[in-house]
Amino acid sequence: MKKIFIFIISFYVYFPFLFGAETIVFVRHAEKPEGGLGQITCQGLNRALRLPNVLEKKFGKPSAIFTSNPAEQKADSGVLYSYVRPLATIEPTAVRFGLPIYDKYGFKDVSAIVGALSDEKYKNSTIFVAWEHHLLVEIVKTLLSADKSIMVPKWDDRDFDSIYVVEIDRDKHTYKLRVDKQGLNGLPTECP
């Protein structure tokens, strides 16, 4: 009996990725200028530079980081720009953790990013995702669609501070959503 117990404990220790929930941490891009420009503001840059500390304290080191493809253009105030806001927001976090950023999917390609985030290799992993906030809500709704009782709140257009945390345990068929805060509002509007 003791040998079986030791075997089971050893299995959990050496193969933890086979058990537990996947945690997906969603952040909206940082503050943007009036005209959009596909870019963030100096205040947004200050947020992006402080974000790694917040995410590390709350969630530890991620296994992967995703953002939308910055080569895809987005119309801001009727003008097309390369949409770099999500990448500019999460780049300091990737640098902090020494991780690549997966940016294969266009910001409107909800089904593709959901498929990537649902990959079995991320079972029992923590993933950070920076995205456009309206489509971020659609991504979260799609990920949690198996549990009809979960209501995904609308992301306010003036809110750059929220964090949507999704936990999925596909083995147990459990799905959770909680909304957290970065605590980074009111940062300087001057560039560092």
pTM: 0.89
Measured distance between the N- and C-terminal CA atoms of the chain, rounded to whole angstroms: 61
pLDDT in tens, 120-156: 999 999 999 999 999 999 999 999 999 999 999 999 9
pLDDT confidence bin for 12, thresholds 50/70/90: very low
Domain ranges of the chain: 21-181
Helix (H, G, I), strand (E, B), or coil: what is residue 37? coil
pLDDT in tens, 42-65: 999 999 999 999 999 999 999 999
Torsion, Cα 20 147 102 159, to 10 degrees, reads -110
CATH number corresponding to 21-181: 3.40.50.1240
pLDDT in tens, 57-114: 999 999 999 999 999 999 988 899 999 999 999 999 999 999 999 999 999 999 999 9
Is 169 a residue whose pLDDT tops 90?
yes
